[in-house]
A and B are shown apart, each in its own frame.
Chain A
Amino acid sequence: MSRAGHILPELPVAQSTEYNGHTVKRFHTLIDALNAAPGEQPFVTSWVDQDDNEEVSFAEFRHRARVQAKLLRAHDVDSEDRVVILMPQGIAAMTTFVGAMMLGAVPTILAYPNFKIEPSKYRAGLAGVSANLAAKAVVIDQQFPDDLLGYVALPNTSRLLRAGDPTQPDGSGPLPDLPNRSDSLAFIQHSAGTTGLQKGVALTHAAVLTHIAHLEQALHIDAVTDRIYSWLPLYHDMGLIACFMLPLVCHVPVVIQSPLDWVMYPETMLQVISKYKCTLSWMPNFAFQFAPRRIPASRWKDYDLSFVRAFVNCSEPVRATSLREFQNAFASIGLRPNALHSSYAMAENVFAVTQSDLRSADGPPCIWADGPRFRSEHLVASVAEGTPGAIVFVSSGQLLPRHEVRIVSGTGESLPHGFVGEILVRSDCLFQGYYNRPDLTAEALVDGWYHTGDLGFQWEGELYVVGRKKDLIIVGGENLYPQDIEEIAAGHPHIHDGRVVALGVYNPELGTQDIVVVAEVEREERLCDAPEIECEIRNRVVASLGVAVRAIYLKPPKWIVKSTAGKPARSSTREKLFRDHPELAVGSEGDQFA
């Protein structure tokens, strides 16, 4: 059953083995890996502020996980049962997750309700996931507010449990026989995105351990000197794999914060990294702009980022401007010129497919490509840096060991080096399927290749990711990436930064797509100047990309529909625009990219 088993031989618990020139420990299961950790070694530090933080060692973590395992067992949770964890970011959620795995049960962490999440959206998402997983238990924390219990939609067969008190003494003593095997399911992580809520990526212990062995090598992990910093949610692969499973298996300490605390007080990121001398951190692209813009420059000098080996930008695409902004801001407080890195990652492959070379002197390479040729011929023709009309791409890094990608055309043919197409991934740690969704699995996994839906190209041994296939706008055979148009429109001083959506709308008369832009003005009064603003945006798009925008819709602030992550939601914004402007929908049913 385990793909990994065919390639990496099964090895006894904690045996050291030669692996691509490195000596790494191999374990059967994640629990074996945890049990092998030195007890006194610090594991998780949960940081709220100077007065409110807690550090647990590996021994204490194991004890607390056993307490949770026993509580779950007392409620008849058994091997292979699904356990949904609805707890705030923190040690209790992590020990409950591991406690479930100790029983051979299959845990999954879902987002905890918070003041930023719209209740109706949250309820719908939770109901869908719980039903699909047919979970035996849903575990909430001790503080889960009673008035919120109504938001937890449970199928009749599920039990609602409150996580046990971690300080209770009965964490010692035997647990039932551990039925875990390398090829048993370890946990389910949910693939990101609003429509991804139903996509539970089921992963075996072998897949996760194999993946972490690759990461350990690519990142040159050292349990003695490394410490990870994370504000990433545990219900996302970046938070769960890079910042929880990797430290658990490699016995590396990790300092975690809640995403809400980080977004409210981004300065705490600098504070924590400086205090704990953290060396590794993963962040999405927007954080590389958010941090320098939101942390007052006058405060930077109090901190020290010189211990950081890598801030890994895990977004697709990675933006050169965002990396530069972060680098320019924090170079003065010790950020090394080669500390910014990139990775292309997805829940379906456990986590990373690529990682930039941590030993390179200047971070991930960039390539400048001829803009018109890129759009019309869908290929990269390298030009000198800064050439007018050129587009810059940042590499997402090199493939991890035993990973392959293919770049394919719309008709599925493999494309040569330098051509842009859909990225297909195959590896020794790829998922087996979406839990309980053979229909979605069949669409995504074809002949062992995972169809990512992302567009990219390969160049000199590096993978570059340029955008999502479904968002691509095709105008007369020219490929246009909505992000590029949005960046140009958002550059107008009266347009709200980050509140622009560019869409392709099928034009039946021309038989191709037209570009439609919807943008929020900075202030409602600016709508009086709409004709001038529209004209300016059109001119800028034509000057940069050589294509004309069919229509620009300027809207008051807050008009564009945002995702729960706070980013403009393209498909919902499209629906809203079509509702308000039915003339747009005429003939657009022919739109294959809608």
Chain B
Amino acid sequence: MTPEAQQMCEHIAQVIRKPSLTIDENTPLVSSGLIDSMALVDVLVKLEDITHMRIPPGKLQPKDMDTIALMLATARRVGRPRK
């Protein structure tokens, strides 16, 4: 797992607040109901911080944020370097 993915895993574990659950890069998060729409905003802000990208939220769809691997791929695809 890349350091970025590792940081996202740690952040999402905090958001979910289920200590019993282990999350990896491919754990479905949105489709499984683990994170809800309001929490997704926090996750996206964190993703921007970790990747140093500005990710236009208007260009995202739920499937783009379903797993940490997808989130990082999305950041690479639509993100712009942040000033």
Contact = CB atoms under 8 A, between A and B. Distances in A.
B45 A261 contact: no
Nearest to A261: B57
Nearest to A52: B56
Interface in A542-567: 556-558, 562, 564, 566
B10 interface: no
A116 interface: yes
A562 B17 CA distance: 18
Interface string A27-51: 0000000000000000000001100
A115 B38 contact: no
B62 A48 contact: no
B21 to A, nearest CB: 10
B81 to A, nearest CB: 12
Contact of A562 (B20, B36, B58): B36
Contact of A557 (B17, B40, B41): B17
A536 interface: no
Interface in B27-43: 33-41
Interface string A82-123: 000000110000000000000000000000111111110000
B75 interface: no
A116 B41 CA distance: 8
Contacts of A89: 58
Contact of B61 (A49, A114, A260, A263): A114
A532 interface: no
Given A263-B41, A564-B37, A566-B37, A556 B58 contact: no
A114 B17 CA distance: 25
A566 B54 contact: no
A119 B17 contact: no
Interface residues of B, number: 26
Given A524-B17, A556-B18, A558-B36, A118 B58 contact: no
B53 interface: no
A542 to B, nearest CB: 30
Nearest to B60: A115
B39 to A, nearest CB: 8
Contacts of B20: 524
A264 B44 contact: yes
Given A260-B57, A264-B45, A562-B38, A115 B19 contact: no
A49 B16 CA distance: 31
B25 interface: no
A49 B54 contact: yes
A355 B36 CA distance: 35
A260 B58 contact: yes
B33 A117 contact: no
A147 B20 CA distance: 35
B58 A117 contact: no
A556 B36 CA distance: 14
B58 A566 contact: no
B65 interface: yes
Given A119-B62, A263-B41, A558-B36, A48 B19 contact: no
B46 to A, nearest CB: 11
Contacts of B64: 115
Contacts of A119: 62
A493 interface: no
Contact of B60 (A114, A143, A147, A558): A114
A124 to B, nearest CB: 15
A143 B35 CA distance: 27
A145 B45 CA distance: 23
Interface of B: 16-20, 33-41, 44-45, 54, 56-62, 64-65
26 contacts: A48-B56, A112-B58, A114-B57, A114-B60, A114-B61, A115-B57, A115-B60, A116-B37, A116-B41, A117-B37, A117-B62, A118-B37, A145-B61, A148-B61, A258-B57, A263-B41, A264-B41, A522-B17, A524-B17, A524-B18, A556-B18, A558-B16, A558-B34, A558-B35, A558-B36, A562-B37
Given A114-B60, A558-B34, A566-B37, 14 more contacts: A48-B56, A88-B58, A112-B58, A115-B57, A116-B62, A117-B37, A118-B37, A119-B62, A145-B61, A147-B61, A148-B61, A260-B57, A264-B45, A264-B57
Interface of A: 48-49, 88-89, 112-119, 143, 145, 147-148, 258, 260-261, 263-264, 522-525, 556-558, 562, 564, 566
Q: Can you list the 9 inter-chain pairs with the closest CB atoms, starting with the nearest?
A: A115-B60, A116-B37, A260-B57, A566-B38, A557-B17, A88-B58, A523-B17, A115-B62, A115-B65
